[in-house]
Chains A and B, each alone.
Chain A
Amino acid sequence: MTTTSMIRMASVDKHFGELHVLRDINLEVESGQVVVVLGPSGSGKSTLCRTINRLEPIDSGIIEVDGKRLPEEGKALAGLRADVGMVFQSFNLFAHKTILENVTLGPLKVRKVGKAVAEKDGLALLERVGIANQKDKYPAQLSGGQQQRAAIARALAMKPKVMLFDEPTSALDPEMVQEVLDVMTTLAGEGMTMLVVTHEMGFARRAAHRVVFMSDGEIVEDASPETFFSNPTSDRAKDFLGKILTH
């Protein structure tokens, strides 16, 4: 039973000034696993996600990706980030580049692949997320759902070892949420290692191998979706689920 940890966090602490946003976080995500992080807003779940590729530096503790400690700011960190795909709440597509250019930029400039190859792979990815026909448009010309699918394609173009999703559907109009979740579900089914911060309980039930519940900067529960949703152990989780499910 020697499954390798794709992500390992040990005794991670972080403050924003007075605020203790991450308290002694210990978390491992095995290769091929899909972990959904749940929790009320302000619980630190987004921050946790962003520390994994060091968009947020931490105060103390250890973070490893694929067995390697996160390097300091510099070339080595850039190299690590190339292997960790990230999808943001607000898409953050490069506004001055077309959808295809968004997807090929990383492979061209970081992976140094040829233009023809990058475009062929990029188109294939856009096909996969269902927006190949939008390839020459600029991000502002696309709907939110289309933009987020493009952002997923951009991250996948780097052939990442792990994908981080930071509330990928929170900024979307309700009718567009499903198209993004469908792409993510497919991705999970293909065996991609994923850490997903979300409020989408349906996705957690359907696609997650594990649910991690955070509150006040702590990991309060770490269980399978069935256990978490049917038998939460902590009061804070019960309270949280109560509020969500009564809607």
Chain B
Amino acid sequence: MNDTNQIIISARDVHKWYGNFHALKGINMEVNKGEVIVIFGPSGSGKSTFIRTINRLEEHQRGEILVDGIELSHDVRNIEAVRTETGMVFQQFNLFPHLTVMQNITLAPIQVRNWSKKQAEETAMQLLGRVGIPDQAHKFPGQLSGGQQQRVAIARALAMQPKIMLFDEPTSALDPEMIKEVLDVMVELAQSGMTMLVVTHEMGFARAVADRMFFFDQGQIVEGGKPDDVFNNPKEDRTKLFLSQILSH
């Protein structure tokens, strides 16, 4: 847990509509520096949509989002500034198939941060070591397993040295035996003090490293709190029902 309680993400009354469908109905959340937040809930509950509003992959239509003091508005410079400080890991990895692992990782630092190629490649090698696949640097994403691809995706996001990492169901597209290798990397990252927002149903991960967790349903936060409280004493019936469904097997 973080002692300084410095707020790095602040979302106030965030609303989002897709046509007439009200996907987010007034989300309020404040995240402190170094906190690990787990977001869970049934599909269509708006949890992915919410974390995608934080780096403006989705535009919110009402309310206010501040990331590291920068307000997300229509100003492209603000959006790019926030994206530079925010890393994202996707369910489908979204690696660039025409680039090698090394190029996948170094592209943004070279093009956005204006690093030299040498500096970017050194950092990339360090990160590949950290996620446990230093020997795959010159392969193409298509030659790697799903778990390895997702670890490359994490390294790619970390290469920009972000202040915040967003994970959008990072293990949902993986075979069971590969989930652990990705979760291990995420646990290590959480312990290193990174601010993380993780949409996931991996309750073991949540119990181990989450500082707080939030249950989303129908575009709203139903309840949130410390993992112990949410797991052991859920206040709402919907939370109880959902937890019993995903923990029953």
Q: Tell me whether A and B are bound partners.
A: no
Q: Hey, which bits of chain A sit against chain B, CB under 8 A?
A: none
